[in-house]
Amino acid sequence: MNTGKQQKPVLTGQRFKTRKRDEKEKFEPTVFRDTIVSGLNEAGGDLDAVAKFLDVTGSRLDYRRYADTLFDILIAGSMLAPGGTRIDEGDKTKVTAYCVFTTEESHAALRLYAQVFNKLIRRYKYLEKAFEEEIKKLLLFLKAFSESEQTKLAMLTGILLANNALPPPIITSLFTDSVVKEGTSASFAVKMFKAWIAEKDANSVTSSLRKANLDKRLLELFPVNKQNVEHFSKYFNEAGLKELSDFLRIQQSLGTRKELQKELQERLSQQCPIREMVVYVKEEMKRNHLQEQAVIGLLWTCLMNAVEWNKKEELVTEQALKHLKHYAPLLAVFSTQGQSELVLLLKIQEYCYDNIHFMKSFSKIVVLFYKADVLSEEAILKWYKDAHGAKGKSVFLEQMKKFVECFCSMDFAITE
């Protein structure tokens, strides 16, 4: 008895489906390199022909496997060894004379190369991450390239960043110690930011840096002994990038204010003596170049955040006046300028409007500060006439009407 399974008949001429990816020719890195170099040399300086060659060849060559080799050749003209030295540089048959590093050092020329990369990555989406890694790698290899090559790479990177073809976090490669030394990172960054601004505008740069949380890390482009706002501002101003210099100053100031506010809140909760707080704030102002106008607003915020306010309108005014009377000497030290007094008045107006229980407290707080020499007659009159804010304007002006009329009648009597 035959227990074996009966074989199914097979049709003659039967064809088996083969996946497309299995039909791709298998290439070794050197064969891959030779094919790319040959194609680039044949296309020459015609970047449309280059883009077409890369598009067509991607269906035959394994771009996924040899992406780093592909981008090395397109940018540097040959394969790169670790550190950035060219492999086979002496053999002209294995190096192309048509790449980013050999193109014209101009924004227009580098923009055309950026378009080649954009077309290639749109066609082969899987190359996107590999391209990011390539640029990060090249930024680490900067010292191996000539000054002209660094400039072209910086311009290309800036153009690609401006058009969202690269993510801003790639810039962190410039913070590596080996690249920061001797000013390589700072020099590269200046050229990159200039190209970025030329392609878009300064707002594009600053908003992208802020979103990527790089706004406070720009000082890392310089060695540790030069990581200060003054050096950064001087360097970037001299390079014609005042917008970024001003941007960093603002961001650093915001960071400083947050730290200062946090520390003040802590000291207030511990009920530190006012004298100690005055010394601390003055030292911070000097160290971080803070203006009095910024500090007075911050102090007001801290003082009002330090108390859990009563929810009853008739009780909160009494509570506020007692609290603010105690700390009036602290505010008086930092309200010596007319502009600082106006900032404080606007802060009080805004707070009383935003916190409905304080709506009837505004005039009483202002009068308290007037009697405690925190606010001057001139500042209050200026606020009343034309420097007040829009929030609750009619209510607060009405509250201050009799007080201001009293001032005016006194001035009139004196002039008589």
pLDDT of residue 348: 96
pLDDT tens digits along 224-264: 989 888 899 999 999 999 999 888 877 777 667 788 888 89
How many whole angstroms separate alpha carbon 229 and alpha carbon 234? 9
pLDDT at site 75: 96
10 band by pLDDT with thresholds 50, 70 and 90: very low
Q: What is the CA radius of gyration of the chain?
A: 34
pLDDT for the residue 414: 38
- pTM > 0.85: no
Higher pLDDT, 385 or 312: 385
Residue 84: C-alpha distances to residues 87, 113, 193, 213, 343 (Å)? 9, 21, 23, 29, 55
* Contact (Cβ atoms closer than 8 angstroms) between residue 331 and residue 318: no
**Are residues 396 and 362 in contact, defined by beta-carbon separation less than 8 angstroms?**
yes
- For 249, the token pair is 């100053």
pLDDT digits (tens, 9 = 90+) for 191-212: 999 999 999 999 999 999 989 9
Give the model's pLDDT for residue 135: 97
Q: What is the pLDDT of residue 5?
A: 53
Q: Is the dihedral of CA 141, 143, 146, 152 positive or negative?
A: positive
Contacts for 176 with CB less than 8 Å, ≥ 6 apart: 140, 185
Residue 246 CA to residue 232 CA, distance in Å, equals 10
- Per-residue pLDDT of 144-196, as tens digits, reads 999 999 999 999 999 999 999 999 999 999 999 999 988 999 999 999 999 99
Look-up of token digits 């200062």:
260
For position 410, what pLDDT does the model report?
A: 58
The pLDDT, as a whole number, for residue 247 is 86
Nearest Cα to Cα of residue 358 among 371, 349, 367, 370: 349
Whether pLDDT at 110 is above 80: yes
- What is the pLDDT confidence band of residue 26, given thresholds at 50, 70 and 90? low
